[in-house]
A and B are shown apart, each in its own frame.
Chain A
Amino acid sequence: MSDMTEIDTTDIRLVPESAVGQEVAQTKSRRWPGLSVLGGLVLVLALLPLGISGSYYMHVLILTFFYVVIASSWRVVSISGQFNIAIGAFMGIGAYAAAIPSVWLHWSPWVTIPLGAVAATIVGALLAYPFARLRTIYYAMGTLFLGYVVINLITAGGKTTGMSTGLGGVEPLFSDRTYYYYLAFGLMLVSLACMYRLEFSRIGVRMKAIAQSHQVAASVGIGERRNRILAVAFGSFFAGLMGAVYCHYQGVASPNSYGLGATLWIIMYVLVGGINSFWGPAVGVGMLLVIPEFFFRDLKGNLPYVTAAILLIIAFTMPEGIVGLLKAITDRVSRRFRRGEVSGDAP
């Protein structure tokens, strides 16, 4: 309390610059192990097609890249406090905005894919405007119904959308799956870089601020509506982009892929991986999509039950998801390590 009673307004210009510098250096050195793991993983994935034989495994990895982006985009919207139960529908908007001109107008995929991404962004931004009035369960319910509406509109679209059977004959981008692998991989890296940048810049800080208290945020000039719209538009861009690429990859856009089921899986990936950390969605996709596909294929039929069980276990034992658990472990290890280094300094 002693330094609280002294208010020296004459030297408030004195800034402990050394302290600021120290902090930066510390976070830098702490980032090193994480960065090398990440670099190694990227390298392995980049070289994998040279070694991998079965195209089935290639397919699983392509799917993984797609879902890492989509789950991450869901999470990036969630940091603004918006839990969107219509993420699948936004993939669908991207997919159909690409598939329809591709099938009926024979537009090039290089045009229809950006079109899908832009369409999802615009629809997202327009819908975010009225939805920015809704919070908590009202927002969740609102988006849940929105998802149904989008699917219903798609299936009611007659010949243009192919109704409930879907729209086939979407022109493929490549004939060789390896190219898709690298396209999906590259898009994933770029998308994650964009999302990382957004979250850890002042824009992400604003979003986290309105999620904590929109009233306090407004009192310092952070508008709730504008930032929520921005978050949804940003997230929808990536969902739409991946939806569009995916339908060109599959050759078909089908409403079943974009309904509530798809949305719930995406949210599961995020929750299992860890909603509070940037890498949570990627880890969650790895756990729930890759591992069962590669190692326990017999289990696949029972996957919903297994996943529900996993979610319960996570909720009870590690509410911050797998990444949260890993973080707690590494924190404890590094604290013990540091304590050993400066023994006698700390109690």
Chain B
Amino acid sequence: MLLETKGLTKRFGGLVAVKDFDIQVAEGEIVGLIGPNGAGKSTVFNLITGVFPVTSGRVLFDGRDITGKQPEQVARLGIGRTFQLNPLFHEFTVLENVTSSFELHPHSSLFDIFFNTRKYRRNEAFIAERAHEILHVVGLERVADELAKNLPHGHQKMLGVARALATRPRLLLLDEPLSGMNPSEIDTSLEAIRSMRDHGITILIVEHNMQILRLCDRVVVISFGQKICEGSPAEVRANEEVISAYFGADYVC
């Protein structure tokens, strides 16, 4: 398993946002994490990436216990992510958003950077080149020099994905990448997500838009912080508990 959580629990004061949550993601999979508003999906992401300390439970990445690591350490280990809100460096240009996210590969030491050594210049040239490639893939090449805050919402979302891709993650956590996008942007994004998987990136995705089910190999459903069901997209669609979690018990009867 590339990612595995065991008994993940998070308490905010009296509120148990995530309770005894287990999820497994195998290398090369696209796994969907769905559930109603406030179910605890974003909290799961924040626990995996170390933004919040866990109350109890463990997170394993590639067999290694990463519980309690700082977010930047988690990023270094190969977990990239996007954020549901505030996905960007707003005062940077689109291009700078991507290049500044190239922290991990290749790495220049402080000495190299400050003294502008040949290695640093080579790394920076490589980064500039790769950043343009990534912008090309997500279709933002034309607005590379715009300030990120001036982009329309859908483009900002795509840029968030581009930024995460720049870290060259093995596992990518996407938090509602399709929200606020128009239909054509949604198509583009679905296509982009599929092509990331084809490039060997494993993906765990939170989404309310059910079109995402087309992409997923497996889906995990969470409600009130607990896993209520797991299976193929077709199985999950047919599951009564899922339907009632989404629409209330009355709807089923």
Contacts of A165 in B (CB 8 A): none
Cβ-defined contact, A220 with B163, below 8 A: yes
Cβ of B215 to closest chain A Cβ, rounded Å: 14
Contact present for A216 and B86 (CB under 8 Å): yes
On chain A, the residues within 8 Å of B199 by CB distance are 9
Q: Are B91 and A216 in contact (CB under 8 A)?
A: no
Nearest opposing residue in chain A for B50, CB measure: A218
Residues of B within 8 A of A203 (CB): 110, 113-114
Q: A7-B188, A15-B132, A219-B49 are in contact. Are A212 and B91 (CB under 8 A)?
A: yes
Are the C-beta atoms of B167 and A9 separated by less than 8 Å?
no
Q: Is the CB of B89 within 8 A of A209?
A: yes
Residue A201 at the B interface, CB < 8 A? yes
CB distance B83 to A219 under 8 Å? yes
Given known contacts A209-B100, A223-B70, A216 and B188 CB-to-CB distance under 8 angstroms: no
Contact indicator per residue, chain B 41-59, by CB within 8 Å of chain A (1) or not (0) = 0000000010100000000
Which residue of the partner chain A has the closest CB to B148? A212
Are A4 and B184 in contact, with the CB atoms below 8 A? yes
Count: A-B pairs, CB below 8 Å: 125
- Contact at A20–B92, with CB atoms within 8 Å? no
Q: In the bound complex, do residue A216 and residue B139 qualify as a contact, i.e. CB atoms below 8 Å apart?
A: no
Query: B163 to chain A: closest CB distance in Å?
Result: 6
The answer to whether A212 and B108 have CB atoms under 8 Å apart is no
A1 to B186, CA, bound (A): 12
Distance, CA A114 to CA B71, complexed state (A) = 37
Interface-centre pick from B51, B132, B164 (highest chain A CB count, 10 A): B132
Q: A3-B142, A212-B91, A213-B89 are in contact. Are A223 and B72 (CB under 8 A)?
A: yes
Decide if A175 is an interface residue (CB 8 Å cutoff): no
A190 to chain B minimum Cβ distance, whole angstroms, is 14
Which residues does chain B contribute within 8 Å of A212, judged by CB atoms? 89-92
Instruction: Say yes or no: B51 contacts A222, CB within 8 Å.
Output: no
Main secondary structure of the interface of A (DSSP, over half): helix
A198 and B114: CB pair below 8 A?
Answer: yes
Q: Nearest residue in A to B107 (C-beta to C-beta)?
A: A221
Determine, out of B74-82, B224-232, B236-244, the stretch whose residues face the partner at the interface. B74-82
Inter-chain contact A7/B92, CB cutoff 8 Å:
no
Return chain A residues, CB-CB under 8 Å to B91: 208, 212
List the B residue with the shortest CB-CB distance to A225.
Answer: B70
Closest to B195 in A: A9
Docked complex Cα distance between A1 and B15 (Å) = 43
CA distance A206 to B114 in the complex (A): 13
* Chain B contacts for A223, CB-based, 8 A: 70, 72
Docked-complex contact B72 and A222, CB < 8 angstroms: yes
In contact, B71 and A219 (Cβ under 8 angstroms) = yes
Contact (A218, B72) CB under 8 Å given A12-B137, A209-B100, A212-B89: yes
Query: A297 — which chain B residues lie within 8 A by C-beta?
Result: none
The distance in angstroms between the C-alpha atoms of A213 and B87, with both chains bound, is 9
Contact A5 B72 (CB under 8 A): no
Minimal beta-carbon separation of B87 from chain A (angstroms): 7
Which residues B140-197 have CB closer than 8 A to chain A?
A: 141-142, 158, 163-164, 166-167, 184-185, 187-188, 191-192, 195
Q: How far is the CA of A208 from the CA of B89 in the complex (A)?
A: 9
- A215 close to chain B: CB less than 8 A: yes
A197 interfacial by beta-carbon distance below 8 Å: yes
- Closest residue of A by beta carbon distance from B158: A4
A215 to B89, alpha carbons, bound, how many Å?
Answer: 10
The answer to whether A3 and B195 have CB atoms under 8 Å apart is no
Please, which residues of chain A bring their CB within 8 A of the CB of B139? 1, 3-7
Question: How distant is the Cα of A209 from the Cα of B90 in the complex, in angstroms?
Answer: 9
Q: Is the CB of B141 within 8 A of A201?
A: no
List B contacts of A5 (CB < 8 A): 139, 184, 187-188, 191
Contact (Cβ within 8 A) A221 B75: yes
Is the CB of B37 closer than 8 A to any CB of chain A?
A: no
Across the interface, name the chain B residue whose C-beta is closest to A12.
B133
The one of B81, B103, B167 that contacts A206, using a Cβ cutoff of 8 Å:
B103
CB of B137 within 8 A of CB of A201, answer no
B129 at the interface (CB under 8 A from A): yes
Q: Closest approach, in angstroms, between the C-beta of B73 and any C-beta of chain A?
A: 8
B235 close to A (CB within 8 Å):
no
- Known contacts A7-B195, A20-B128, A218 near B133 by CB under 8 Å: no
How far apart are B52's CB and chain A's nearest CB, in angstroms? 11
Chain A residues within an 8 Å CB radius of B184: 1, 4-5
CB within 8 A of A202: which of B80, B108, B136, B192?
Answer: B108
Residue A261 CB within 8 A of the other chain: no
Residues on the B chain within 8 Å of A17, using CB: 129
Q: Does A156 contact B (CB under 8 A)?
A: no
> A220 and B166: CB pair below 8 A?
yes
Chain A residue at smallest Cβ distance from B86? A213
A221/B104 in contact, CB under 8 A: yes
Please state if A220 and B167 are interface contacts (CB–CB under 8 Å): yes
19 contacts between A and B (CB under 8 A): A1-B184, A3-B139, A4-B138, A4-B139, A6-B139, A13-B133, A15-B129, A17-B129, A20-B129, A20-B132, A206-B100, A209-B92, A212-B92, A218-B72, A218-B75, A220-B80, A220-B103, A220-B163, A220-B167
Partner-B contacts on A (CB < 8 A) = 1, 3-7, 9, 12-17, 19-20, 197-198, 201-203, 205-206, 208-209, 212-213, 215-224, 230
Top 3 A-B pairs ranked by shortest CB distance?
A4-B139, A218-B71, A220-B101
